[in-house]
Amino acid sequence: MSVCAEIGVTPILTASLAVFAYTQDPDMEVHDIDLSCSETDFPRLQRMMEEHDIDCAITNWHVLQTRRGDLKIEFDASEHWMKGIPDHYEIARIAGVQFHVVTEDGLRELYLRGFVDTAGRTDETNQIKHRDIRQKLIALRAPRLS
Distance separating alpha carbons of residues 108 and 117, to the nearest angstrom: 14
Domain ranges of the chain: 2-103
Q: What is the pLDDT of residues 45-73, one digit of tens each?
A: 999 999 999 999 999 999 999 999 999 99
Q: Are 103 and 86 in contact (CB under 8 A)?
A: yes
**Which pLDDT score is estimated for 146?**
40
Axis crossing angle, helix 104-118 with helix 124-139, rounded to the nearest 10:
150
Average pLDDT in the chain: 94
Distance separating alpha carbons of residues 133 and 46, to the nearest angstrom: 29
**Which pLDDT score is estimated for 86?**
87
Residues shown for the chain = 146
Ramachandran bin of 84, using left for φ above 0, alpha for ψ from -120 to 50, beta for the remaining angles? left
Q: What is the pLDDT of residues 78-132, one digit of tens each?
A: 999 999 998 899 999 999 999 999 999 999 999 999 999 999 899 999 999 999 9
Work out the pLDDT band at 145, boundaries 50, 70, 90.
Answer: very low
**Which pLDDT score is estimated for 87?**
85
Q: Which of 110, 96, 141 is nearest to 36 (CA)?
A: 110
71-77, strands of its sheet edge to edge? 55-58, 63-68, 71-77, 33-37, 12-14, 97-102, 89-94
What CATH topology corresponds to 2-103? Beta Polymerase; domain 2 (3.30.460)
